[in-house]
């Protein structure tokens, strides 16, 4: 097995790391006031980060999933909000359009999304259909040459700033999950409104909104895939999304560890740096081991996807483990900082708040365990 990144991946990591350094300016203010990083998202588009896995023919960067995971990790070390904006756009929107969209849909929607000119959002969750994706109450009634969409979606990342939305909705109630479809909806369509922004614990500069649909007329050609393909579309998309969230969690953990390590060498107690105390050394050693294990799980899931091999279980394993490592590592980083870790200036309290959501979205930790268990028991 090859554990060394090739030259292209190393160069990509350095480019992402350099860009991430620019994110640090204003990151505390963006977090405190929930300011969407519009200019940075634009820069990510110019650097190719907003279309990483899309073919160059559709204005993407033509990179692989491993490169994508590396970039998400580096960016999330500094600003997990920017990381999740990029992750949702790439994993949940562009992947589905490229894999299952028609040529006309790719020309009209994929190209501007992959180039970063437009931003995408994926709408699956509902007030009564979060982890249970089969219980879609948003409906899309077939009217011949168009569908009428009615319902509500919530917890939608990029919900307020997106231009193009992929909406999961029920067309044939009697068919249950086999009657679900996915539709491309544009901001500004009549009857489509965006609810207030959620006031969140973490990833605060990433905007999260509810979406409301009242007789939204969507052309027939905006349905992706055959009639009833929506549930399979969502499940396939979420598998890849879990790799993105694992990479985000990994970045949060690694960022907190870097800060804790540096602080432990500067802070002195009893006449010597706290890094020379065994209690701190044990914490740092455990953090390093768990972060490296999370990185290997995440990179393996990405590699499997790139090889065209099954990766659903591995993506769930990576997401589960990396998110728990992120939570544990950030708590320990705050502890190593002591009282300073509790104030915004030292960044670790923000990373701790950001870490929690990685255990929740793209399926909670309990859902990941179900996915893993079903795979190993089948």
Q: How far apart are CA 32 and CA 29, in angstroms?
A: 5
Are 283 and 353 a contacting pair, CB within 8 Å?
Answer: no
CA dist., res. 356 & res. 203, Å (int): 9
The pair phi, psi for residue 199, each rounded to 5°, is: -95, 100
Residues contacting residue 113 through CB under 8 Å, at least 6 positions apart: 50, 51, 89, 93, 94, 97, 119, 120, 164
What's the angle, vertex CA 30, arms to CA 25 and CA 31, rounded to 5?
115
Q: Which residues are bridge partners to 213 per DSSP?
A: 151, 192
User: Is 107 part of the annotated catalytic residue set?
Assistant: no
Altogether, the residues listed in the chain come to a count of: 378
For β-strands 180-186 and 164-170, DSSP reports them as antiparallel
Do residues 90 and 51 touch, judged by C-beta distance below 8 A?
Answer: yes
Q: Which of 74, 198, 324, 362 is catalytic?
A: 362
CA–CA gap between residue 279 and residue 285 (Å, rounded): 10
C-alpha 328/C-alpha 319 separation (Å) is 14
In whole angstroms, give the CA distance from residue 84 to residue 206.
7
Report the b/e string of 130-140 with b at 16+ CB within 10 A.
Answer: beebeebebbb
Backbone angles phi, psi at 342, to 5 degrees: -90, -5
What are the catalytic residues?
362
């Amino acid at each position: 097995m090859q554990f060394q990144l090739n030259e292209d991946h190393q160069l990509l990591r350095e480019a992402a790391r350099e860009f991430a350094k620019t994110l640090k300016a204003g990151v505390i203010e963006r977090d405190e006031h929930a300011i969407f990083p519009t200019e940075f998202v634009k820069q990510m588009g110019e650097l190719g980060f907003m279309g990483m896995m899309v073919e160059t023919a559709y204005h993407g960067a033509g990179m692989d999933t491993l490169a994508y995971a590396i970039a998400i990790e580096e960016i999330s070390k500094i600003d997990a909000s920017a990381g999740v904006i990029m992750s949702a756009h790439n994993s949940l929107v562009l992947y589905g359009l490229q894999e299952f969209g028609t040529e006309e849909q790719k020309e009209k929607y994929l190209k501007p999304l992959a180039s970063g000119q437009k931003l995408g959002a994926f709408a699956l969750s509902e007030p009564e259909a979060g982890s249970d994706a089969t219980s879609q109450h948003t409906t899309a009634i077939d009217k011949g040459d168009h569908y009428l969409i009615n319902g509500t979606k919530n917890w939608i990342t990029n919900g307020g700033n997106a231009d193009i939305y992929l909406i999961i909705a029920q067309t044939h109630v009697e068919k249950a999950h086999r009657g679900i479809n996915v539709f491309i909806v544009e901001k500004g369509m009549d009857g489509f409104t965006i609810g207030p922004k959620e006031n969140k614990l973490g990833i605060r500069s990433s905007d999260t909104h509810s979406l409301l649909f009242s007789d939204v007329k969507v052309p027939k050609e905006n349905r992706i895939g055959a009639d009833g393909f929506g549930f399979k579309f969502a499940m396939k998309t979420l598998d890849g999304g879990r790799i993105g969230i694992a990479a985000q969690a990994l970045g949060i953990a690694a960022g907190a560890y870097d800060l804790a390590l540096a602080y432990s060498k500067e802070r002195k107690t009893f006449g010597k740096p706290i890094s020379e105390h065994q209690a701190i050394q044990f914490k740092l050693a455990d953090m390093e081991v768990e972060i490296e294990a999370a990185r290997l799980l995440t990179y393996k899931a990405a590699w499997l996807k790139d090889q065209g091999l099954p990766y659903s279980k591995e993506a769930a394993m990576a997401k589960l483990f990396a998110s728990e490592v992120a939570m544990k590592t950030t708590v320990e980083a705050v502890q190593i900082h002591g009282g300073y870790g509790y104030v915004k200036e030292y960044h670790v309290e923000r990373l701790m708040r950001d870490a929690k959501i990685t255990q929740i979205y793209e399926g909670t930790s309990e859902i990941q365990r179900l996915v893993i268990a079903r795979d190993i028991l089948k």
